[in-house]
Amino acid sequence: MKIKNHFGIFQRFYFIEIFKGLMITIRHMLFTKTVTIQYPEERRQYSERYRGMHYIKSVNGVENCTACMLCPTVCPAECIHIEAGERADKEKYPIRFEVDVLRCCFCGMCEEACPKDAIKLSNIYEMAQFKRTVYDKNYLLEQRGGK
Amino acid sequence: MDLSMLLLSDGYFLAIKIVLILGIILQVVPLMVWIERRGSALMQNRLGPNRLGPLGIIQSLADVVKFIFKEDSIPGHVNRFYYLAAPMVAVIPAFMTFAVVPFAGPIVFDGKELVFQIADLDVGILYILAIASLGVYGIILAGWASNSKYALFGSLRSTAQMISYELALASSVAGILLVYSTVNLGEIADLSGYTFNLFGLEIPRWGIFLQPLGFLIFLTSVFAETNRLPFDLPEGESEIVAGYHLEYGSMKFALFFMAEYFNMTTASALLATLYFGGWQLLPGMNLIIENIGMSGSAQEWLRVGFQFASFWIKVAGFMWLFVWVRWTLPRFRYDQLMDVGWKVMLPLALFNFVATAAVIAIWR
């Protein structure tokens, strides 16, 4: 353990060292660029791989999802709830598809597990709501912030 | 009677001076808060408040509104009387100290000399030293009355700090008193107008040139006196939360805050008066006054205006130094502060005093 620092006479006369310090702060004040991003007008550029709000990809108005249940199985937060059903043009489709965003940890494992490229995570990161929110199928089917 | 005559009669002129100075030092608080926030932000490569008004200058007004409309709650565990008295005790001396500081040179108007100083006291500096030490009672009272450990620690530190710094402060001022042989601030400012000859150079008799060591000691002690970093131990956010004003909210906290900035203003004014010639014109201003093409009474009033401006420019420079140092230096440790106060500053101040006295005795 270092107990005592040995300073020279000029360092012990504080004022010179303090003056050097003052010069550092004034240099930062006058000549260094600020790093602030002024949020609503200016936005940070996130990478393409950013994991934000979920959406279900659809092709020609038909959702890619076949209700195979791989995503609720793999989901560590257990926030995806799917109820499967059948309809004329599709053998198996999700009647209900809900993501409980309050539980979601945005790990992206649903996206990885999906064989049909149906559930995806977009770039959208402004997800604050006034109420406790569960995204239902209609909400998720809107193709927003796609990659 | 002519209006200007009425306004310059004794009573009215005093009222005008009081209103002017009170107005200025009250305006200094929001302005300094804004400068402090913007300055600190820029030093840390941030932007600081910049949304309200041009460059965010109205931000402090919003802060004031917030302070006024906040719920004024009193914790249950405090001693109500002293708890409520403490902010007043802190802020009143802070208001009072500026009274003896001269802010412009005297002017002869209608055969009468008008002095730009609220109270032309013969005790001058002694008055400021006495009243400024009263300010610490507000802090001590706040700490004791709050009945909280952190607040008590804050006031405890404040007491110890005051004892270790007031001695050095007063001893360094003693050097100035020897040099000018007066305690009247008006006379000191007046005397700094003369020049002395040093190796063929005409140097103004400003305190800094006569007492450079005294200036450094005074400057350091004043930082401790106003509880500003690097000596803000009574507040010590990172150690004792907020120190003495921990239990205070809304306008009562704002009063402590204001007291700190008033003290800063007075300290800057004192630094300017004792060591930088007070209202004496800044170099070059004399030429402007002479060449602007006025004469007689008008020129005299112009001179007063320029003296007023140079006084506040000097004060503003020291105010900026307070802010600048605050965002540069970390806080001193408690024992380091004591060390510097007792083992370095006090001996140096006494040495300065004795050396000044010796030099004066030999020269006379």
Identity of the amino acid at B73: S
Q: Do A28 and B45 lie within an 8 Å CB cutoff?
A: yes
At A73 the pLDDT is 92
pLDDT in tens, A33-54: 888 888 888 888 888 888 888 8
Q: How far is B44 from chain A (nearest CA, A)?
A: 7
Tally the C-alpha atoms within 13 A of residue A7's C-alpha that lie toward its C-beta. Answer: 8
At A91 the pLDDT is 85
- pLDDT at A126 exceeding the cut of 80: yes
Cross-strand partners of B109 = B112
At B131 the pLDDT is 86
Whole-angstrom Cα distance, residue B129 to residue B173? 10
Mean pLDDT within A108-127? 87
pLDDT in tens, A10-32: 666 777 888 888 888 888 888 88
Exposed/middle/buried for residue B235 (C-beta within 10 Å: 0-12, 13-18, 19+):
buried
Q: How far is A126 from chain B (nearest CA, A)?
A: 22
Q: How confident is the model at residue A137 (pLDDT cuts 50, 70, 90)?
A: confident
Whole-angstrom Cα distance, residue B140 to residue B150? 12
At B337 the pLDDT is 83
Q: Do B45 and A34 lie within an 8 Å CB cutoff?
A: yes
Tell me the whole-structure pTM to 2 decimals.
Answer: 0.80
Would the ipTM clear 0.90, i.e. be above it? no
Closest CA in chain A for residue B321: A22
- pLDDT at A65 exceeding the cut of 80: yes
Q: DSSP label at B281?
A: P
| Cα four-point dihedral sign B140, B142, B144, B148 | negative
Partners of residue A34 in chain B, C-beta under 8 Å: 41-42, 45-47
Q: How confident is the model at residue A74 (pLDDT cuts 50, 70, 90)?
A: very high
Please check whether residue B306 is in contact with residue B286, taking contact to mean a CB–CB distance below 8 angstroms.
no
Q: Do B324 and A26 lie within an 8 Å CB cutoff?
A: yes
Q: How far is A11 from chain B (nearest CA, A)?
A: 14
> What's the CATH number for A54-141?
3.30.70.3270
Domain-wise residue ranges, chain A: 54-141
Short-list A109, A95, A88, A101, CA closest to A65: A95
Q: How confident is the model at residue A92 (pLDDT cuts 50, 70, 90)?
A: confident
Domain-wise residue ranges, chain B: 73-363
Q: Do A25 and B46 lie within an 8 Å CB cutoff?
A: no
Quote the Cα angle for B17-B21-B22, to 5°.
115
Using 50 as the pLDDT threshold, list the residues of chain B that sit under it.
Answer: none
Does A26 contact chain B (CB < 8 Å)?
yes
Count of A-B CB contacts under 8 Å = 37
Q: How confident is the model at residue A147 (pLDDT cuts 50, 70, 90)?
A: low
Does A60 contact chain B (CB < 8 Å)?
no
Q: How far is A32 from chain B (nearest CA, A)?
A: 7
- Mutate which of A29, A36, A41 to test chain B, going by most B C-beta atoms within 10 A? A29
At B8 the pLDDT is 65
